[in-house]
Amino acid sequence: MARFKQPYTLIKRKHKKGIVYYYRLAEDPRRIPHSTGQTLKHKAREYVETLLKMGPVDVPTLREYATDFFDWNNSPYLQRRNELKQGQKISPAVARNRHSNVHVYLIPKFGDTKLNRITLAVFEDWLFKLPLSNSTKNHLLYTMRLIMKEAVRRGVIKDNPLEGIEPLDPACKTRDYLRIDELNRLFPKDVEEFAKLWGKDTGFGMTLLIAASGGLRSGELRALRWRHVVWETGGILVMRARKRIVGEGTPKANSVRGVLLPQRTLSLLHWWYEENNQPGPEVYISPVIGANSLLRAFRRGMEKANINTTGRYLDVHSLRHTYNTQMRGLLEESKLMAFTGHKSIKMLEHYDQKTVAEKLQRRAGLRGQVDQFFSE
């Protein structure tokens, strides 16, 4: 009697929750098993035969499949993931970051490409050429893997083409910081020299000066308004931060705080305030709130200041590293943490501007140390 080749094979595998059946299609040359998610054999057969009856399905593009994949309010994937008893859950903050990865990087590049057409070689070439740290590239890779893994689980594609990519070594690209002589060239003390160096980018130059001498994150910088400047105390209130997808929110780790600025920074800031006819309290200090605009201005400024950037990883966040490096020898660790917002645990207390301003006033006695920021 002739034997007929079965269209699929069921395979039993042991999992923490017991036996789970996988299926392998006869037509698959790579013989890759896929989970049915079923623990009973007859249910597994029903699952596979239903898939086969449906016939080939048109594979969606990345934009069609992943637009809401990490949307906290609309994602079936997040709902299923967070309902499982086992496995790491995804928090709203992590979901927001993954959602940002999808919309800022992945969809602009692969949005109109079908999932099964995103090959390992093409994705790898694109990823390696991005002007980002290896840590950020690994986040993009992991985000894409989660999307592909779920697409395989749902039978949208047969296998994950990115399975073979290894994470990049985060240590291969260490963020650098500016030395004192470089700071003084990039942010001249004299108003006329400052305006001459920065030119049409003077507003960005002021924003970057606050980053360097106040230790702010990029998102916090781009959310600064003139009402956050406390002229009487000589500092700024870090109350808000720009988010890539959802506009503004609280700073990272809820690190609402007040930061004393060096007198040199305050003098230039006051000059810029008067130069712009005393802008209203709700006006942003940065002329454009986009991250890329600020980064491009930073690079133009370094080029004009003849700062050697060859082989160095310098971005806007490097100015926060610069602040930490310079101030560690000037301030006690606890006081420096108060200025930078670095915490070992998240603060649950609800802050308002009055409270933060009062804390800033209590640290006015640190003026002498803060004013040494631009000194050797």
Helix 120-129 × helix 134-153 angle, to 10°: 160
Q: Which residue has the higher pLDDT, 310 or 18?
A: 310
pLDDT 10s digits, 40-78: 888 888 888 876 665 555 678 899 899 999 998 888 888
pLDDT at 161: 77
For the residues 107-136, what does the mean pLDDT come to? 86
Fold of the domain built from segment(s) 57-173? DNA polymerase; domain 1 (1.10.150)
The pLDDT assigned to 250 comes to 85
Residue 118: which pLDDT band, with cuts at 50, 70 and 90?
A: confident
Beta strand pairing call for 241-243 and 34-38: unpaired
Per-residue pLDDT reduced to its tens digit, 156-207: 887 787 776 777 766 556 678 899 999 999 999 999 999 999 999 999 999 9
Give the amino acid at 29: P
Cα–Cα distance measured from residue 217 to residue 211, given in angstroms and rounded to the nearest whole number: 7
Phi first, then psi: what are they for 361, rounded to 5°? Answer: -60, -40
Quote the pLDDT of residue 245. Answer: 55
Query: Of the segments 113-122, 149-158, 179-188, which one has the largest average pLDDT value?
Result: 179-188
CATH architecture of structural domain 180-370: Orthogonal Bundle (1.10)
DSSP annotation string for 164-219: TPPPP-GGGS-B----HHHHHHHS-SSHHHHHHHHGGGHHHHHHHHHHHHH---HH
Identify which of 73-82, 150-159, 226-235, 254-263 has the greatest average pLDDT: 226-235
Helix (H) or strand (E) holding 114: none
Residue 301 clears pLDDT 50, i.e. is over it:
yes
Mean pLDDT of the chain: 83
- Could you tell me the sign of the dihedral formed by the alpha carbons of 313, 316, 318, 322, in that order? positive
User: Would you state the pLDDT for residue 1?
Assistant: 42
Q: For 45-59, 111-125, 272-286, 346-360, which range has the lowest pLDDT when averaged over its residues?
A: 346-360
Burial degree of 317 (CB within 10 A; 0-12, 13-18, 19+): middle
Query: Phi, psi at residue 45, to the nearest 5°?
Result: -65, -45
pLDDT of residue 350: 30
Burial class (CB in 10 A: 0-12, 13-18, 19+), 57: exposed
Residue 27 structure tokens? 């037509």
3-state secondary structure of 301: helix
Domain with CATH 1.10.443.10 in the chain: 180-370
Sequential DSSP letters for 245-281: TTEEEPPGGG--EEEE--HHHHHHHHHHHHHTT---T
What is the structure's pLDDT at 37?
A: 76
Question: How many residues does this entry show for the chain?
Answer: 376
Q: Confidence band (pLDDT; 50, 70, 90) for 345?
A: very low
The whole-number pLDDT of residue 53 equals 64
- Angstrom CA distances, 150 to 66, 69, 161, 206, stand at 10, 10, 13, 45
In this prediction, residue 4 has a pLDDT band, given cuts at 50, 70 and 90, of very low
Q: What confidence tens digit (pLDDT) does each residue in 243-279 have?
A: 765 678 888 777 889 999 999 999 999 999 999 999 9
Domain with CATH 1.10.150.130 in the chain: 57-173
E-strand ranges in the chain read 8-15, 18-25, 34-38, 229-230, 235-238, 241-243, 247-249, 257-260
